[in-house]
Chain A
Amino acid sequence: MKAKVGVSALILLFLAGLWLVAAPFAVGYQPRGAAYADATVNDLWIGGGLAAVSFVALVVYAADALRELAGRGKHVADG
């Protein structure tokens, strides 16, 4: 149950990272065709990093859970 809350938090963080990448263009404080403003650069780096790290964590979590499931299945087959 507690781990499920953590996984839900990771999903929300991934979505927040995507929002941060899109925010400068969605909110409109980054003009089209102009050089990136400081706020835009900050949002892109933080949002991109947050989304990437959250995604990696979700993948690691799923992979480890699958590995554990496979191990259990092997034990059942052996028995």
Chain B
Amino acid sequence: MIRKFVGAVVAALALMAGLWLMIAPFALGTQPENADWTNPTTSEFFTGLGVAIVGLAGALAFAAAIHEELVVRGLVAVRQKKVAEPEPEPVAPAPQSSSAELATLLAPLVEALREDLNRPGEHRQNGKPTLVGVEENR
């Protein structure tokens, strides 16, 4: 573990050294302005570019190795990727089912009407006072 950490630190330092090498000719003034790159500038720039790339790759590799070891030791939990569950589409109620429900609801009423029609001799007792009127007369 510690050796990988040392490697990651050194690789990160190399990355910074490479970046410095790339800008050093311009920062130190050894590269004249508005002129073609001199030999020292070309050498330092491309060497610095290579050092920076290798340092970055090394730092990433050591960091990945450290992460892998932490996962093996159980100190880091690997996130499980959530599988997106498709949302159930709202099912439109079938028109037949609504009419069937309506028929079921109206069935007792239809039955009562039919019974009324089948007994023509009986008359309804109309003319009774309403409940509201009874309450007001109290």
Using CB atoms and an 8 Å cutoff, list the residues of chain A in contact with chain B: 2-3, 5-10, 12-13, 16, 19-20, 23-24, 27-29, 37-39, 42-43, 46, 49-50, 53-54, 56-57, 60-61, 63-65
- Residue in contact with A2 in the complex, picked from B10, B30, B61, CB distance below 8 Å: B61
- For residues 24 through 52 of chain B, which have their beta carbon under 8 Å from a beta carbon of chain A? 24-25, 28-30, 38-41, 43-44, 47, 50-51
Which B residues are CB-close (under 8 A) to A5? 57-58, 61
Question: Across the interface, do A16 and B28 meet the contact criterion of CB distance under 8 Å?
Answer: no
Question: Across the interface, do A6 and B51 meet the contact criterion of CB distance under 8 Å?
Answer: no
Interface residue SS majority, chain A: helix
Q: In whole Å, how far is A13's beta carbon from the nearest beta carbon of chain B? A: 5
Which A residues are CB-close (under 8 A) to B50? 16
A13-B58, A39-B30, A43-B40 given; name 12 further pairs at CB < 8 Å.
A2-B61, A2-B64, A3-B61, A6-B7, A9-B61, A16-B47, A23-B47, A27-B39, A42-B28, A42-B44, A53-B13, A63-B3
**In the assembly, what is the distance between CA of A43 and CA of B48, in Å?**
10
Question: Across the interface, do B10 and A57 meet the contact criterion of CB distance under 8 Å?
Answer: yes
With contact pairs A2-B65, A39-B25 given, residues A50 and B51 touching in the complex (Cβ less than 8 Å): yes
Which A residues are CB-close (under 8 A) to B25? 39
Please, how many residues of chain B have a CB less than 8 angstroms from a CB on the other chain?
37
Question: Across the interface, do B11 and A13 meet the contact criterion of CB distance under 8 Å?
Answer: yes
Which A residues are CB-close (under 8 A) to B9? 57
Using CB atoms and an 8 Å cutoff, list the residues of chain B in contact with chain A: 2-4, 6-11, 13-14, 17, 20-21, 24-25, 28-30, 38-41, 43-44, 47, 50-51, 54-55, 57-58, 61-62, 64-65, 68
